[in-house]
Amino acid sequence: MSDLFVTLRINGTDHALSLDPRVTLLDALREHLHFTGTKKGCDQGQCGACTVLVNGRRINSCLTLAVMHEGDEIQTIEGLGTPEHLHPMQQAFLERDGYQCGYCTPGQIMSAVAVLDEIERGVPSHVTHDIGAPPPLSDEEVRERMSGNLCRCSAYPNIIAAIRDVSGGAA
Amino acid sequence: MKAFSYDRAGSVNEALQLAARPDAKFIAGGTNLLDLMKLGIEAPVHLVDINRLGLDTIEPTAEGGLRIGALVRNADLAADMRIRRDYAVLARALVSGASGQLRNKATTAGNLLQRTRCPYFYNTDMPCNKRRPGSGCAAIGGLSHNLGVLGISDACIATHPSDMAVALRVLDATVEIAGARGAARTVPMADFHRLPGETPHLETALREGEMIVAVTLPPPMGGTQIYRKVRERASYAFATVSVALVAREGRIERVAFGGLAPKPWRVDANGSAGEVADAALAGARPTPDNGYKLDLARRTLAAALADAVRLEAGR
Ligand SMILES: Cc1cc2nc3c(=O)[nH]c(=O)nc-3n(C[C@H](O)[C@H](O)[C@H](O)COP(=O)(O)OP(=O)(O)OC[C@H]3O[C@@H](n4cnc5c(N)ncnc54)[C@H](O)[C@@H]3O)c2cc1C
Ligand code: SF4
Ligand code: FES
Ligand code: FES
């Protein structure tokens, strides 16, 4: 079937594309627009390597179609910081050694930024003991909320430490 | 993935018109449908995007309950203060499912309609009556440690994977459905999911081309509400067994199980946790692989009741 025209707004810039409707947001980013910071791990929503922010909320870009995102604000790791001006979360991952091979890292960082925002907005999690109260900013909360991002190198302790540095808490 | 046409519907009516074509499907969050389309297990010819219909609000009803739009995201439903205060079992069930990323996309309707996680349903090289009617069931006599023990049939022993649905069942929610030929209808959660019988490919009361527009909760029933989920890792896994419980003064008032059956398994029994478990599991038909679920269900119910007692004592 024929391609569709779609304009994707990525990191504040519009990109006009003609796409087969089957193209996922992940493949549009990587293969069509060469934003290769966003990674493909499982392509099934199981690993989190493809995490991006859409209208400020984290999603798995492998389980959504690009044509569904006309008009949305999409943010990738490339839009978070630059090598000269790292985002505080990127800086913290560097300082805490929050990775080994680095493949999962862009997804981890995008997710981590969203996790702190979700806690701030009061979104509960599975480990929120009092579901009616605002969730605390704790290691336990951060760990649970990061469970959608797998790390084959198992850099988990340092990832949590990095996120806690940015959140101003103890690791 | 098979090619398909894509349309973004602007209204419920337009969506229903577009879905009246043969082999059309709605796409909401896409987190289950696209996964299955990549594997060729679902192959719609037309996709109708229903994300921009404005069905994403939670409104009070005249009866004192809440009407949840079909497109309300699982994360937003779990975060809603009314849900957290008055329907805690639902908030708890929602946050026990999937991951933060997935809950931001997954919708109320899509969650109800998600398909089983039976490994043979996912493996297109294997026989599966649900995926290919009449082809047989590879799970019976195969690896079945995660499959069902209640409500199953000789054609299919799969479970329904949703956590949210178990909570909606215990709360006696109703599903509001719209069809191309006008009249909307409502189906209680009790009747929404079907048992497999001879036709495991027919999973719900939804008819071809029909759309879920909302799920309605009756007025809050109070009590102490617990959702306890046992899974193979601490987070981000489907339920092996789960219990949605409403208790009052240390006694079980309502209970439903997840992970045991092709639909949320409500038990109409009261008494001690042991007595309720006996009643629930009386007709169980475990395979050689999944008999452990009977003991686990028993212990999970006892633990959920203990959680409730602890919560009540802390108030
Ligand atoms: C890695 C992973 C882990 C998961 N873990 C859990 C878990 O632990 N617990 C759990 O409960 N779930 C879990 N899920 C499943 C997840 O909850 C579902 O994928 C999600 O709820 C589906 O919602 P959706 O809006 O994305 O549906 P979609 O994928 O958009 O749609 C699913 C089906 O519903 C139909 N549909 C959607 N909306 C409507 C409507 N309004 N009317 C009629 N038909 C409609 C579609 O046509 C499709 O057939 C997991 C998923 C993944 C990928
Ligand atoms: S249990 Fe059901 S879903 Fe699994 S292989 Fe058998 S028929 Fe298919
Ligand atoms: S690539 Fe999207 S979750 Fe793994
Ligand atoms: S750093 Fe290698 S996968 Fe996480």
CA distance A133 to chain B (A): 9
pLDDT at position A171 = 43
CATH classification at residue A92: 1.10.150.120
pLDDT at position B12 = 96
**Judgement on whether residues A101 and A67 belong to the same structural domain of the protein:** no
pLDDT at position A2 = 84
**Judgement on whether residues A119 and A73 belong to the same structural domain of the protein:** no
Mutate to test the pocket of ligand 2, among B115, B129, B289 (most ligand atoms within 8 A of CB): B129
pLDDT at position B159 = 98
> Which residues in chain B are contacts of A43 at CB distance < 8 A?
38
Residue A1 banded pLDDT, cuts 50, 70, 90: low
**Residue A7 vs residues A41, A74, B53, B96, B289: alpha-carbon distances, Å:** 26, 11, 20, 35, 51
Q: Are A89 and A112 in contact (CB under 8 A)?
A: yes
Residue for token pair 């759309």:
B211
Mutate to test the pocket of ligand 3, among A24, A31, A62 (most ligand atoms within 8 A of CB): A62
Q: Which residues, given as ranges, of chain B have pLDDT below 70? A: 182
Q: Which helix (H) or strand (E) holds B101?
A: helix B100-105
> Where among A79, A102, A135 does a domain terminate?
A79
**Judgement on whether residues A73 and A103 belong to the same structural domain of the protein:** no
Mean pLDDT score across all residues of chain A: 96
Question: ipTM, 2 decimals?
Answer: 0.97
**Judgement on whether residues A67 and A125 belong to the same structural domain of the protein:** no
> Which residues in chain B are contacts of A67 at CB distance < 8 A?
6, 8, 49
Residue A170, pLDDT above cutoff 90 = no
Q: Take atom 3 of ligand 3 and give the residue whose Cα is closest.
A: A45
pLDDT at position A169 = 62
> Where among A79, A100, A130 does a domain terminate?
A79
**Judgement on whether residues A101 and A72 belong to the same structural domain of the protein:** no
**Judgement on whether residues A44 and A107 belong to the same structural domain of the protein:** no
Residue A139's domain comprises: 88-167
User: Domain count of chain A?
Assistant: 2
pTM here is: 0.98
Which are the contacts of B225, defined by CB distance < 8 A and separation ≥ 6? Answer: B87, B88, B89, B92, B244, B245, B246
Hey, what are A97's tokens?
């050694």
Q: Are B158 and B116 in contact (CB under 8 A)?
A: yes
d(CA B9, CA B25): 12
> Where among A54, A79, A104 does a domain terminate?
A79
> Which residues in chain A are contacts of B34 at CB distance < 8 A?
24, 63-65
d(CA B250, CA B228): 16
pLDDT at position A13 = 98
**Judgement on whether residues A156 and A135 belong to the same structural domain of the protein:** yes
To probe the interface with A, which of B34, B38, B74, B225 has the most A CB atoms within 10 Å?
A: B34
Nearest to B1 among A22, A64, A115 (CB): A22
A100 lines ligand 4 (CB under 6 A): yes
Q: Which residues have C-beta atoms less than 6 Å from ligand 3?
A: A 40-43, 45-50, 60, 62
pLDDT at position B38 = 98
Mean pLDDT confidence for A130-138: 95
The answer to whether A132 contacts B85, with C-beta atoms less than 8 Å apart, is yes
CATH classification at residue A58: 3.10.20.30
CB neighbourhood size of B142 (10 A): 16
Residue A28 banded pLDDT, cuts 50, 70, 90: very high
Q: Are A90 and A109 in contact (CB under 8 A)?
A: yes
Closest to B95 (Cα-Cα) out of B84, B86, B109: B84
**Residue B143 vs residues A73, B134, B258, B297: alpha-carbon distances, Å:** 44, 20, 19, 20
**Judgement on whether residues A55 and A11 belong to the same structural domain of the protein:** yes
Q: Are B255 and B301 in contact (CB under 8 A)?
A: yes
**Judgement on whether residues A75 and A97 belong to the same structural domain of the protein:** no
